[in-house]
Structure 1
Amino acid sequence: MTSNKLRLVIVLWRTKMTTKIDVFKHIKYDTNYFVSKRTLYPYIVQIGTGGNGTYILQQLAQMLASFNLPHSYIACDPDICEAKNLRNQLFIEADVGKKKADVLARRYSAHYKLNIASYSNQFVENMETLKNLFSNTDHTPVGYNDIVHLPILIGAVDNNYSRRIMHEYFKQADNLLYLDCGIEGVSLVDNASSEEELEKSRNSGYTGQVVAGLKLNGKTLLEPVASVFPDILDDQDEIAPSELSCSTVVASEPQRVITNRFAAMALCSFLNELFETHSITKHQVLFHAKKSYMRAKPIPSE
């Protein structure tokens, strides 16, 4: 078999074995009304505006403006911008001393003319806070059957404490797209005894993944990150974010800028497909920033 024929066989096999989830077909409507065309209304709550979060917010804001979608977007993070953040996050010198979420929400709301709000009072460390963030309907169109309201939770955090809170929220939600991105930190080596240890450190901090959890009409269609990686739920000794600053975590396991950007690109690829086709065709995206490698794990057919 020639290489071209082999490639064709592989493409056809992948197409046959994968599934597309059409969001519009899974959400209930009022059948008393006929609507020829529906519009997606993403209600986005993003937890974390640090290394991954800054790039996610910028890319997603630009995408929302490009698709010209009605929307609500809340960026949540009480962390304060420090001078060292200027090297690897989307801040400028004038932002130092200000809360990251407030800065980014104002900047990209103004630049792209969007509805981006910020919640910077405290860390999201309980279900009640998360429920309240999704209950703000000031900008949500009401009374229009052609508007499909979809809550979207974005986890851009570096701790499993927050992931457990988001997992619990996913379990009780009727409709929710939950996107979580996680990356590998750089393995620091003090007083390396061999070139092998140094090489291991140099090659670390480049990998990561994004996992999509999807629940529509109370039915889980895609398992969330804590179900894919159950050790997240077993990690009961994790310290709450309010007790351990993001800067402290990053100092022990620093992140690479290129990996942060890959994480944002991988996460936004889910939303680009959703905004354009109202569907989702992948469950996970794995990437290696140093090797310029990104691979989607499609939704298997039932």
Structure 2
Amino acid sequence: MKRQAFQPQDIGENKAIALAKKINTFHGELCEAIDKYVTRNELIEFIDQRKEFYPILIGCVDNDATRILLEQTFRHLKNAVYIDSANSEYDGNVYAALNVNQVTYGAIRSETYTLENKDHPAEKSCQELAAGNIQYLVTNLKMATSLLEHCSCIMANELKEGVTVVKQFEEIHF
């Protein structure tokens, strides 16, 4: 509850489901979350069953295996938005891309970084990193704010495509 937008009634509920409910409370039925690990095919099937919506994938994950799954799904979709956030101790970045008729605009993380596809990622979660003082609360808050700006743009029918770099005392978008 200290690190994310949760309240006491959310304890015990899947955090993706709890946050989707909060978003929908304020903005209508815009957000759906899946409360289990999925394959690329399951994710594509989930998206295909919702033809009335424009797919927006937001990656706030702690491992490259899931990033690869999200990127593969994004590349498969004819039209979609993909926003991927990652951070370390003091800095981070947000990659934002748009597929329009399978032409990609913006930036995708794997075009800059080598992503490791591990079946069972051993990386620590954000909460575990913060508990060990390896990752600071301010860094996560700045990253969350940057993602919120991206989501706000989408809700205003705009996309801030490209890369946003978040450092300890600055933020740069290019």
Which TM-score tier does this pair reach, normalised by the shorter chain?
0.7 to 0.9
| Cα distance, 1:267 vs structure 2 | 2.3
TM-score (norm 2): 0.81
DSSP 3-state at the match of 2:147: helix
Check 1:95–1:274 CA distance in 2 against 1; reply closer, same or farther (3 A cut). closer
2:9 & 2:160 partners in 1: Cα distance? 41
Change (3 A) 1:101 1:294: same
* Paired residues of 1:214 and 1:224 also in contact (CA < 8 A): no
Alignment length (residue pairs): 172
Change in CA separation of 1:108 and 1:168 when aligned onto 2, cut-off 3 Å:
closer
> Can you list the C-alpha shifts for 1:88-134, whole angstroms capped at 9, x where unaligned?
22223343322212322334433x152143321x213x211211231
Which residue of 1 is the match for residue 42 of structure 2? 129
Q: Distance in 2 between matches of 1:249 and 1:161?
A: 19
Given residue 103 of structure 2, which amino acid in structure 1 is its aligned partner? K
How well do the aligned residues superpose, as a CA RMSD in angstroms? 2.8
TM-score, normalization by structure 1: 0.50
Distance 2:33 2:160 in 1: 30
Higher relative contact order, structure no. (Cα contacts within 8 Å, ≥ 6 residues apart): 1
Shift of 1:207: 0.3
SS at match of 1:117: coil
Structure 1 residue 281: Cα displacement: 5.3
Quick one: structure 1 residues 165 and 268, their matched pair in 2 at CA, closer, same or farther if it must change by over 3 Å? same
Aligned CA distance change for structure 1 residues 215 and 94 (closer, same or farther; 3 Å): closer
Aligned-residue offset at 1:253: 7.2
Per the alignment, residue 99 of structure 1 pairs with 14
Aligned ranges 1:37-76 → 2 under 5 Å: none
Partners of 1:294 and 1:245 lie apart in 2 by 25
Gaps of 5+ in 1: 1-85, 141-148, 185-204, 298-302
Any stretches of 5+ residues in structure 2 without a counterpart?
A: none
Residues 214 and 287 of structure 1, relative CA distance in 2, 3 Å threshold? same
